Structure 1
Amino acid sequence: MQDQEKIITATNLTNCDKEPIHIIGHIQPHGALVVIDMKSYAIVNYSENLSSFLQTKNLSSFRYLNDLFPDDFIIQLKKELEANKTLSTYTFEKGKENFLLIPHVSDDKVIIDVEKQKDKLPSFTFQQQLNNILSQIEKTTSLKETSQISTQLIKNIYGYNRVMLYRFDKDWNGEVIAETKDENLETWLGLRYPASDIPKPAREIFLKQGVRIISDVYYKPSPILSLDNSNLQTSINLTNSELRGVSPIHIEYLKNMKVNASLTTSIIVNGKLWGLITCHHYKAKTVDYFQRQSCKFLTQVFANQINLLDTKKYVSSSKQLETLRKKLMLQMQSVSKFKEALLNYQPNLKDFIDCGGVALIRKNKINVLGGTPLKKEIETLIREHLAKQKKSIYFTESLSSHFASAEAYTKTASGILAISLDANFKDFIIWFRPEIITTIEWGGNPEKNGYVKDGVTYLHPRKSFEKWSEKVAGSSKVWENSEIEAATKLQENINTVLVKKQKEKIKLLNNKLKRVNKELETFSYSVSHDLRAPLRGIDGYARILKEHLNLEKDDYSSHALETIISSSKKMDILIDDILSYSKIGRQDIRRIPVDLNAVVFEIINSSNLKINYPQTQIKAEKNLPKVFADSRMVTQVCANLITNAIKYSQNQKEPFVEIGYKEESKAYFVKDNGIGIDEKYIDKIFNVFTRLASADYEGSGIGLAIVKKSIDLHEGKIWVETKLNEGTTFFFNFGNA
């Protein structure tokens, strides 16, 4: 038989958290183990001590499960496997002893732990004990009281020398928060133990298995063998085995503590490993399977009580915070200035959450209340840390461990709780909590020790567990869940109030805009009526003068009259364009199917091309897709683009205009080979009164502005491709409708 140290390869410091303790390859000898194939029920592996434990000879001749165990067990096992049920235990008698079979599924195999079964406690007595335990735990009103009673009950029932309740912190360090022990033992109450004492693989198994026994740290391991006894089996997953062997590191750890046996149960709250109840004994001690399950049940009762106490605390805190939040809401709704509502009245933001100080940052202004960092430091904190997190709510008890610059103000702001008030992460409310310097009492120096062999440092558990003190700074009081949720609700409330106030401002602006539009309509009428009347008079009398006066010999007067008539015509066109532009958007869009072919034909036909532009060739694509848009605006867009194309290409040798549709870009286009547009003016062509062409080309500079506004109202797009002196192509659509 090989001893434990030879079976398990030593674990070094670099892979301690990856130690494969679930495939350790051996079991503790207070039981035996059989592994069968789930389909054939053939035995594939067994523990070396199986024959002696069951007092069975000729084990090598056994091949199937019914060679070892009663048929009733096999029938029960098959039924439960076929129904995909949790596998049940089975008790059978052999010789003068009772044996308990504890099966469970592991990958494609069934592992069967075999233990000796002691006499059961009479069910009536057990029920009385259980009722008494439940009653005592349910009467507790605090975590301290619940924890202490739980350790007392477990010690009384199971008789271990020391029972401790061990709670994990966020970094998986543990603290003994309750203890019941023999009088002669030194207390470990209040001591802390580093996360390395219970590494990640062990914590993961505790979460899955729930209860773990080590009957004797000086046990002789029983290796798991293959059926032909040819080799050790270290690939079998023993996570849920009751007999799984113990890591040599943990064995040495317990030996250094002078502990001979242990029983550990997991405290699981809301699906997470909250802590452990650990029992130590200073002699070898075995507790049978059903006693261990009872201990597991008691621990679950304790976990439920913790959850209940936490819930009561959470509800009480939430009610207080809810009252304060509602008062802050009323202040925000009744006080016009946001800052005053949150900082100048009672309650204020500092009263809302337990803190040393608070900062309100909005529109690049910082307002503080209570103990906070300097405003420059707050600016840096937001710019270099909070804004980069891109979180609507952010909290930490140790800001300096995430943001090095915060070391300068740990006294006032070791912890922060921040809520964002805008999508750009510039506006915040930040609550600050000061540093709390605490002294932690460790159960021995928490630093890992090791020894070097062949260039590798191997883990060497601590030998001393005497109290070791350490001062811890740079951290604040922990932010409670109720506080975080209250801050989140306040954030929602503030955003609601801000949106409401913004809506009120928009409503006022809309009303103002309506008045302005009404005035614009009045002005438009004035332009169309009051200005046009004298304009017609000027034009009419200028024409009369031209016809009745003999101006053949007076070139100056003749030119002056022509200028008056021409200017009147231009002004009339300008008035028409201004009115057209002002009307767009003041009327509802009425989308209907519009035949672009008919629209284009009408525009071309009304242009009198043969008379006005005899050299211009126009190519209009047939079967242009219909568009679902406002008919009047579609006509305006097409008319402006087509007449512009004709106008600005008329002086070319072979003026050419093309109208069509591009399927790949889902856009109509109007193309010409005219004067083109200088690229540096592309961004300006859609502005009102923008004219980039020379005076040789008539126009008011409003046409393209009308086009852009009409397309924008349809949520469509318009863009241009152009080259100076070579031509221009306008692409456009009227949105997805």
Structure 2
Amino acid sequence: MQNYPNLSVDLSNCDNEPIHIIGRIQPHGFLIILNRHTLEVEQASDNIHQFLDADAKALTGKTLESITTGNEYDSLLLLLGNNNSQYAHILQLQGRKFFAFLHLSEGSLVLECESFEHGTNDEKRLEVISTYSKLQIDLEAADSPEIQSQLVVDFVQRLLDYDRVMLYRFDENWNGEVIAEKVKPGIHSYLYHHFPATDIPAQARALLALKPIRQIANAAGTAVNIVPYINPTTGKPSNIIESELRNPSEIHLEYLRNMDVQATLSISVQMKGKLWGIIACQHQTPVFINYWRRQLCRNVAQAYANALISKQEMRDVSLLEHKKQQEEQLLRQVLKSGSISEGLFSEDLNLLHLTEATGAALYLDNQLYTKGITPTHEQLQDLLQWITENVQSRVFSTRALAALYPAAAAYISQASGLLVLEISKFKRDYILYFKPEIQESRIWAGNPEKPVVTDSVRIYPRKSFNKWTELVKGKSQPWSVNEEEITQHLLKDMVSVLLKNQTDALTGLNNELKKTTNALSSKNKRLEEFAHIISHNLRSPLSNMQGLCNLYTTKGEVAHRTDIIEMMQTMIRNMAATIDDLNLILKSESELGLEWQQIDLQEIIEKELQTMKPLILQTNATFTTDLAVTTITAPKVYMESILHNLLSNALKYRSPERAPVVQVSTWQERDTIWLQVSDNGLGMNLDKVGGRLFAMYATFHRNKEAKGLGLYLTKMQIEALGGAINVASAPDKGTTFIVSLPVAK
């Protein structure tokens, strides 16, 4: 008999098989479909007379009051007001008790009933409760998923006495594998066998997720029609997808016959809201499992799922914590080395330690770095191009790269599995992890690729479930949640490092720009001063020379001409001295880019004192040094010039009342080196000097040797080194110059 009038269904379209409008139920209960507003019967199963004094066809269009006695109708109305399909209700009709199941379907109420059973006696019930409690304890104490799985199938088989109880787990492609099994003697085992996804089509899996328990009590039983097939209110078949009693499809029934199975019970195992697997019970003869035991199996499945999740999370958290510590150490290595490639690719701890990958690659700033077993550089360049063009997410993984990128078939032994971490798509910067191919034997319950038998009407389900072995190629071990999570931590930290490096680089460039701007500004200012000097110190003497030349031509007497020539010679000497000074300034300017080197300060001081020795002896001067810092990194010519000017000034501006005493000292505070030169000389009134102390040609004592260039050059050179110079002085109390210089890095 066809389940669907005027509709042909075969294996080629079984995913779209309309099992929701199958129009038939199993015979161990009855079904009534009611108008939710009027509570009039729209449809009923043709076997209702086997349970109640009622006829399906005669009942259509009437209310249920006609099949109730006493106050049963009031109780029924209360039930109909609570359309919770998750649990059964106890309902009494015509003096008989039923388990009643109620749910709402496309505007209609679907009421289903199966005969009520009191269940087991008190002693048996106590035994079952005790055994179930022990199962929960054992599940939590079990050391492995394999032990947990076996505990479950053992318990369910003892509880229900089915010939075969299997724990069936789905893979990422919805193929199933039997990971635990309990069978009676003489029953064929499917342990570790695989079943193709087509054995449980997409809509059947969706139904298992929606309704955790599905029973087929007798696959050979006669199905019961729902009459009429077309709902008179809606004008179409009623949707009974959530029905407890819905009859299986013809394809599924034939599938069971081919397995020599007449009764099944399927309990879905859901992990975090997703269908994970099935506890599949099978028997060679009809078996009806009452509601009490079905619900207990549902609780067993949930307890198993909770125990699996709990153990897995404990293992995951412990492993993840260890990997996080390694990732943090990698980050410290990167920060210490200042290089992502050096930090991630060291020998002791590197990025491979974070995963089970056997190879890794980093493509950063157009440079390719590899670790472990990887494709060649040329192959990696092509792979990176494919990733850039085809991978849209920042984190991407596959265990079968060649299936997505055929060129990867050339190196499946190195990189069947790929994990991609995108650092920058714009710059094409990536971290790649690789896992090798694992060739594994997969045992199928029958050949999943073997064509099924066909005739002119339909395609039949496969008839053979004999052992068939397949060699799985081109796949790696899957990427675990831990691997993806810890590598995302790595990605986040490396992006942060890059952003910090870019920020530091921009800050450094900005600082360099500021220094360059300040240097140019300072140089421009000096050029203005230079132009002023030329204008003042050369133009005026030249004008005077012009006047003397005119005078020379008008004065005829030799004596007058001799005087004029002497005056002209004096002016020429003064202009020559000015030009020498300007050359000195220009020389100092040209030395701004001199090489920096480590300098012995004591050596420079002793050299300068040796040069000044005649004047030291003449003035009976005393020089002492207290050098906490003995070396400094700077252009040597600058430090020689700075110390020469400061030390020579100490003698040049000595007091006539006492012998000169000069103290030179150095020390360091954090990133600054201090140089101090103190004397007991003439000193000066800084209030009167004001800001002119370091100006060009500024002199404040009557000393024929004073030109006013030394301190000007000293300040210019110190500032060129990034430092500063300050002075403390008072008339007849001496002078102290304090120089601060940054520690060269």
The two structures have a TM-score, normalised by structure 1, of 0.68
In the alignment, the residues of structure 2 paired with residue 425 and residue 452 of structure 1 have an alpha-carbon distance, to the nearest angstrom, of 56
**Counterpart for residue 160 of structure 2:** 158
Structure 1 residue aligned with 2:520: 520
Shift of 1:236: 1.4
Paired letter, 1:310 = Q
Change (3 A) 1:354 1:66: same
**What is the aligned partner in structure 2 of residue 224 from structure 1?**
226
- Seen in structure 2, the aligned counterparts of structure 1 residues 504 and 92 have a Cα distance that, compared at 3 Å, is closer
Residues 231 and 238, structure 2, Cα contact 8 Å, conserved in 1: no
Q: CA deviation at 1:172?
A: 0.2
Provide the secondary structure at the position in 2 that maps to 1:421: strand
Segments of 5+ residues of structure 1 without an aligned counterpart are 541-737
Task: Tell me the equivalent position of 1:254.
Answer: 256
Q: 1:25–1:233: 8 Å Cα contact kept in structure 2?
A: no
Partner of 2:17 in structure 1? 19
Amino acid at match of 1:277: I
Partner of 1:209: 211
Q: Is the 8 A contact 1:165 1:277 kept in 2?
A: yes
Q: Deviations over 1:688-713 (max 9, x none)?
A: xxxxxxxxxxxxxxxxxxxxxxxxxx
Which residue matches 1:419?
421
What is the CA distance between 1:313 and its match in structure 2? 2.2
Q: Matched residue of 1:459: which SS? A: coil
SS in 1 for 2:424: coil
The 8 Å contact of residues 46 and 227 in structure 1, kept in 2 or not, is answered as no
Structure 1 536/240 Cα, relative in aligned 2: closer, same or farther at 3 Å? farther
1:43 aligns with 2:45: no
SS across alignment from 1:505? helix
Bigger shift: residues 155-164 or 329-338? 329-338
Per-residue CA shift, 1:29-51, capped at 9, x if unaligned? 11110000111111111111112
AA aligned to 1:48 is: D
Alpha carbons of structure 1 residues 22 and 118: separation in structure 2 relative to 1, 3 Å: same
Say what the alpha-carbon RMSD is for the aligned residues. Answer: 3.1
SS at match of 1:460: coil
> Shift in Å at residue 231 of structure 1?
12
Distance 2:235 2:188 in 1: 42
* Number of the residue aligned with 1:461: 461
Residues in 2 aligned to 1:86 and 1:463: alpha-carbon distance in whole angstroms: 36
Aligned match of 2:26 in 1, 25, 28? 28
Letter in 1 for 2:67: L
Give the residue type in structure 2 aligned to 1:510.
N
- Superposition deviation, residue 458 in structure 1: 3.0
Task: Specify the alignment match of 2:188 in structure 1.
Answer: 186
Give 1:288's match in structure 2, choosing from 282, 286, 290: 290
Taking the aligned partners of 1:437 and 1:134, their CA distance within structure 2 comes to 37
* 3-state SS in 2 of match to 1:167: strand
Q: Distance in 2 between matches of 1:218 and 1:405?
A: 52
Deviates more, 1:298-307 or 1:57-66: 57-66
Residues 487-514 of structure 1: CA distance to partner in whole angstroms, max 9, x if unpaired? 0000111111222222222222222222
CA separation of 1:137/1:436 partners in 2, compared to 1, >3 Å: closer, same or farther? Answer: same
Secondary structure, aligned partner of 1:294:
helix
SS of the residue corresponding to residue 54 of structure 1 reads: coil
Q: Deviations over 1:711-732 (max 9, x none)?
A: xxxxxxxxxxxxxxxxxxxxxx
Q: Which residue number corresponds to residue 496 of structure 2?
A: 496
Deviation at 1:58, TM superposition (A): 8.4
CA pair 387-424 structure 1, distance change in 2 beyond 3 A: farther
Once residues 280 and 369 of structure 1 are traced to their aligned partners in structure 2, the CA distance between those partners, rounded to angstroms, is 51
Superposition deviation, residue 89 in structure 1: 3.4
How far residue 77 of structure 1 moved from its aligned partner, in angstroms, is 5.9
Q: What SS class does the counterpart of residue 440 from structure 1 fall into?
A: strand
Match for 1:377: what amino acid? Q
Structure 1 residue 357, shift from structure 2 partner: 1.3
Contact 1:410/1:435 (<8 A) preserved: yes
Closer, same or farther: CA 25–462 of 1 in aligned 2, 3 Å? same
Code of the residue aligned with 1:475 in structure 2: it is: K
Please report how far the alpha carbon of residue 61 of structure 1 lies from its aligned counterpart in structure 2 after TM superposition. 5.1
Closer/same/farther in 2, CA of residues 465 and 425 from structure 1, 3 Å limit: farther
Counterpart residue number, 1:696: none
Give the corresponding residue for 2:631: none
Distance in 1 between residues matched to 2:231 and 2:401, nearest whole Å: 58
Write out per-residue CA displacement over residues 267-292 of structure 1, whole angstroms, 9 at most, x where no aligned residue: 00011000000000010111122321
Cα deviation digits, residues 58-113 of structure 1 (max 9, x gap)? 86156102223467665456557667766763334567853222111112111011
The question of whether the paired residues in 2 share the 8 Å contact of 1:449 and 1:461 is answered with: no
CA drift of 1:519 comes to 1.6
Query: How many equivalent pairs are there?
Result: 539
Q: Deviation of residue 346 (structure 1)? A: 1.4
Return the alpha-carbon distance in structure 2 between the equivalents of residues 385 and 449 of structure 1. Answer: 37
CA contact (8 A) 1:23 1:237 kept: yes
Distance 2:490 2:67 in 1: 67
1:422–1:117 Cα change, 3 Å: same
Q: 1:376 aligns with which of 375, 378, 383?
A: 378
Q: TM-score, normalised by structure 2?
A: 0.67
**Alpha carbons 1:360, 1:429 under 8 Å: kept:** yes
Q: Which has the larger radius of gyration?
A: 2
1:254-273 equivalences in 2 (<5 Å)? 254-273=256-275
Residues 340, 494 of structure 2: 8 Å contact kept: no
**Cα distance in 1 for residues equivalent to 2:174 and 2:107:** 33
Moved more, 315-324 or 189-198: 315-324
Q: Choose from 191, 196, 200 the match for 1:198.
A: 200
Q: Secondary structure at the match of 2:159?
A: helix
Contact 1:29 1:222 in 2 (8 A): yes
Q: Is the 8 A contact 1:215 1:286 kept in 2?
A: yes
Work out whether residues 260 and 284 of structure 1, in 8 Å CA contact, stay in contact via their aligned partners in 2.
yes
Secondary structure, aligned partner of 2:370: strand
Q: Contact 2:4–2:22 (CA<8 Å) still a contact in 1?
A: no
Partner of 1:410: 412
Q: Is the 8 A contact 2:25 2:226 kept in 1?
A: yes
Shift of 1:517: 1.9
| Kept after mapping to 1: 8 A contact 2:10/2:458 | yes
Aligned to 1:277: 279
Q: In structure 2, what residue type is equivalent to 1:491?
A: L
Other structure's SS at 1:432 match: strand
Q: 1:138: how far off?
A: 2.5
Decide whether aligned partners of structure 1 residues 13 and 226 sit closer, same or farther in structure 2, where only a CA change above 3 A counts: closer
Distance 2:183 2:27 in 1: 28
Q: 5 Å matches for 1:586-625?
A: none
Q: Which moved more, 1:329-338 or 1:198-207?
A: 329-338
Q: 1:84 to 1:513 in 2, by over 3 A?
A: farther
Q: Distance in 1 between matches of 2:182 and 2:390?
A: 49
Q: Tell me how far 1:293 sits from its aligned partner.
A: 1.7
Task: Name the structure 1 match of 2:432.
Answer: 430
Deviation (angstroms), 1:452: 4.7
> What residue number does 1:624 align with?
none
Partner of residue 173, structure 1: 175
Give 1:127 deviation, angstroms: 3.5
Whether 1:481 and 2:485 are equivalent positions in the alignment is: no
Q: Distance in 2 between matches of 1:22 and 1:142?
A: 39
Q: Is the 8 A contact 1:362 1:428 kept in 2?
A: yes
Secondary structure at the counterpart of residue 522 of structure 1: helix
> Structure 1 residues 71, 173: closer, same or farther in 2, change over 3 A?
farther
Partner of 2:311: 309
Structure 1 residue 460 displacement after superposition: 1.4
Cα offsets for 1:180-232 (capped at 9, x unmatched): 11011121100000000000010000000111000111111111113999999
What is the match of residue 570 of structure 1?
none
Specify the code of the residue in structure 2 equivalent to 1:68. I
Equivalent position to 2:354, from 352, 367, 374:
352
SS for the counterpart of 2:51 is helix
Report the Cα distance in structure 2 between the residues aligned to 1:399 and 1:8, rounded to whole angstroms. Answer: 45
Q: Which amino acid aligns with 2:10?
A: N
SS in structure 1 of the partner of residue 447 of structure 2:
coil
Identity level (%): 29
Residues 393-428 of structure 1, C-alpha deviations (whole Å, 9 max, x = no match): 111100000001000000110001121221426111
- Residue 109 of structure 1 aligns with an amino acid whose one-letter code is S
The aligned counterpart of 1:108 is: 107
Mean Cα deviation higher: 160-169 or 283-292: 283-292
Change in Cα spacing, 1:398 to 1:74, as seen in structure 2 (3 Å) is farther
Task: Check the 8 A contact 2:344/2:351 in 1, yes or no.
Answer: yes
Please name the residue that 2:54 is paired with.
56
Shift in alpha-carbon separation, 1:517–1:83, aligned structure 2, 3 A: farther
